[in-house]
Structure 1
Amino acid sequence: MESITKNRQSLDALKSMIERAYGPGRVPVGDDIADELGHGWFNVAYRVRLADGAEVVLKIAPPADVEVMSYEHEMMRNELTALALVQEHTGVPVPRIDFADTTRTLCDADWFTMPYIDADNFGVLLESGRVAPDESDLLHEQLGAVTRELNSVIGPHFGPLRGPGFATWREAFTGMIGDVLRDGERADVDLGRSYAELREVVAAHADALDEVVEPRFVEWDLWPGNTMVRDGRIVAIIDHERALWGDPLIEGGFTGIDLAAFGDPSAFLRGYGRDAADLTETERRRRRLYTLYLVLVMIVETRYRGHAEPWQYDWSRARLDELMPLFG
């Protein structure tokens, strides 16, 4: 995915980063040392072959002078925090960080390195039709089980992992969706309906958020595209920069409960241990708010990414039109 947030670096800069991370003896020689991994939508990531033949990934945050959405500030540092939490409190497979640099001396952004994961991206397999339906169901079930394990970690507050936090989920979530709406207004994004109407919908259903009283670790952005698989098993979960302390029901795997366009959630729900039919009316109201938040992010971010093609904007606008009548 092409985006103006991708902070591509020169060959000399990449070699300097590798030297800082692994020492001068492992810096590769020549011009053909790195390939850009193109699946991400925000950061830039390179697959690098070290001098000793080992392969690593070098991931770099957006340039300092590129405007990002409110929740996207210092997301790489949030990812480092998320990875440490997952490794300390769960058995979920995630990448090991070899080296992280937040000094912004070799380039204008944070960056880190990790071992290259020799596996297939589940999302790419689905898009290319290279996974059979029964295998897809099994992997979605595994994704549900993984998500449940991640959600078992209890946090100190609601909101960003690194703080500052909120005492209630209502404060945290209404602040999150309020930020997205302000981002949209600042960039003059056409949502197809008034910002005032959307704020009224959030206010009308915000009481459903009060039922959530225990902050849990949630990835929010956990979907097949951030899942690496090999031999029918999930071997790694990647891209943790959007993790937060919140309500597990906000996880991406539940989104299909509200809108069919996000895919059949049945296999995910089996793996997670939930049944859509058992959701209470309050849970359904919360779930619609979470889908609203996701769709708004998907619409507004197209302006901040500088997308040349309109397909994501058009697709997301259609989802907003489908969702709004569900609020009554």
Structure 2
Amino acid sequence: MDFRPIPRDLEAFQQPVTAEDIEAISLRAFGRSVRVTSAVELGGGMYNSTYRLTAEGLDRLVILRIAPAPERQFASERELMRNEYATVPFLAPIADLIPRVLAADWSREVAGRDWMVQSHLDGAPAPDRLGDYPRDLWPGFFAQLGTIAKDVHAVRGPHFGAVAGPGHATWSEAVLASLHAIADDVVGVGLDAADVRKVADLAAEHRALLDEITESRLLTGDLWTVNTMLAAAPTPVISGVLDLDRTLFGDPAADWTIRMASAKKDERTAFWETYGSRGPSSPAASWRALVYEARHLGAIRLERHRLHNSDGVRDTYQSMADVLAKLT
């Protein structure tokens, strides 16, 4: 096998598996008629370890994604791969854009980690390709993102919270559970979580505002440019959507995609032309948006810590202080 892992420090969050592990995974997924000839680790993601596999006995490339070891996962990010697997049936409206699951194994008998084999999506990662187009073509890309988000948000859920569960009967319960898990994780890595806990206290005190959301909808959790593939075309055409492992059921306004679409007044405003209106503004909706921003900031703090970005971690405290000032 031509095995090409990415060299990483022992302290790095993402850790490779061995060539023998990949051979064992191939045996489980495809049987003895398939032999992996090449395994190249891809560096685009920051959570799972991802390999592009070439194999005798398969007529095309496949992607192997391997989850972090259980002890390396935050409580607020527990078993994201299993969550993505559970979400696949709910993503039927965009089934033509997402990879097909070819095999999955939660036994952890190989390398002590969950893994999933998926079909390989054609195209190039949008962060690598979008800049090759003139900026006057970028609005078309963001309009396509608006359509995708609209289609996903139209899917109704059976509960609130992560798709794979645990499910919650109310939106406030799901939001509070998420905030408490993030706070516990922040403390667990030796950082101050007082601001996250303060947001949780305020959310609990005013849970009636959260519970104005009575119908759960599917949220992408993490969809933006980094999770899309572009076709080889004269204009930006989204050919694939990747890594929808942070999906949850709840208020569409809480989705990362909505946060990013609202962040700047630039080409991304075309998102709203296809997504549609966010609905009438109200004091309750504005207050909820602040709670959602605090939740995003807590998750960002953890990710920046994982990436050893101390300056970025520090910035989240000022941003959270600004949110708390408005909440109180």
* TM value normalised by structure 1: 0.86
Code of the residue aligned with 2:27 in structure 1: it is E
- Counterpart position of 2:44: 39
- Partner residue, 2:68: 62
| Superposed displacement of residue 140, structure 1 | 1.0
Aligned equivalents of 2:76, 2:253: Cα separation in 1:
19
Query: Aligned partners of 1:64, 1:200: CA distance in 2, in Å?
Result: 29
Provide the aligned C-alpha RMSD in A.
2.7
Unaligned runs of 5+ in 2: 1-5
Aligned to 1:236: 240
Report the Cα distance in structure 2 between the residues aligned to 1:293 and 1:93, rounded to whole angstroms.
Answer: 28
| Runs of 4+ with deviation above 6 angstroms | none
Residue 318 of structure 1, CA deviation: 5.0
Q: Give 1:249 deviation, angstroms.
A: 1.0
CA contact (8 A) 2:261 2:271 kept: no
Give how far 1:181 is off: 1.4
**How far 1:6 sits from its partner (Å)?**
2.2
Indicate which of 13, 19, 39 corresponds to 1:11.
19
Matches of 2:24 and 2:203, distance apart in 1: 48
The code of the aligned residue for 1:221 comes to: D
Quote the offset at 1:41 in angstroms: 1.3
Judged with a 3 Å threshold, the aligned counterparts in structure 2 of structure 1 residues 244 and 121 are, in CA distance, closer, same or farther, namely: same
What is the one-letter code of the residue matched to 1:47?
R
2:199 is the alignment partner of 1:198: yes
- Give 2:270's aligned residue: 267
Once residues 216 and 311 of structure 1 are traced to their aligned partners in structure 2, the CA distance between those partners, rounded to angstroms, is 35
**For 1:266-305, what aligned pairs fall within 5 Å after superposition?**
266-274=269-277, 278-303=280-305, 305=306
Residue-pair matches, total: 316
Asked whether the equivalents of residues 259 and 323 of structure 1 are also in contact (C-alpha less than 8 Å), the reply is: no
Residue 21 (structure 1) aligned with residue 24 (structure 2): no
- Check 1:196–1:117 CA distance in 2 against 1; reply closer, same or farther (3 A cut): closer
- Could you tell me whether the CA contact under 8 Å between 2:252 and 2:258 is conserved in 1? no
Within 5 Å, which residues of 2 pair with 1:239-258? 239-256=243-260
For 1:196 and 1:81, locate their aligned partners in 2 and report how far apart those are by CA, in whole Å.
30
Distance 1:321 1:254 in 2: 22
Q: Which whole-Å deviations, capped at 9, do the CAs of 1:82-115 have from their partners, x for residues lacking one?
A: 123213x555521101111112122201101112
How far is 1:257 from its partner? Answer: 6.9
| Structure 2 residue aligned with 1:140 | 142
Matched, 1:101 2:109: no
Amino acid across the alignment from 1:234: I
In structure 2, the residue corresponding to 1:85 is in which secondary structure? helix
CA distance in 2, matches of 1:152, 1:249: 13
Identity in percent: 25
2:80 alignment partner AA? M
Cα distance in 1 for partners of 2:228, 2:56 equals 28
Q: CA deviation at 1:62?
A: 0.6
- The structure-2 alpha-carbon separation of the partners of 1:106 and 1:271, relative to structure 1 and needing over 3 Å to count, comes to same
The 2-side partners of 1:104 and 1:257 are apart by: 38
Aligned CA distance change for structure 1 residues 195 and 110 (closer, same or farther; 3 Å):
closer
Instruction: Supply the distance in 2 between the matched residues of 1:13 and 1:153 (Cα, whole angstroms).
Output: 37
> What is the distance in 1 between the residues matched to 2:25 and 2:224?
30
Alignment partner of 1:123 is 2:137: no
Whether the aligned pair in 2 keeps the contact of 1:7 and 1:61 (CA below 8 Å) is no
C-alpha distance 144-159 of structure 1, shift in aligned 2 (>3 A)? same
Q: Is the 8 A contact 2:76 2:185 kept in 1?
A: no
User: What stretches of structure 1 of length at least 5 have no aligned partner?
Assistant: none
- Indicate the SS of the match to 2:63: strand
Shift of 1:319: 3.7
Give the letter for the 2:209 counterpart: A
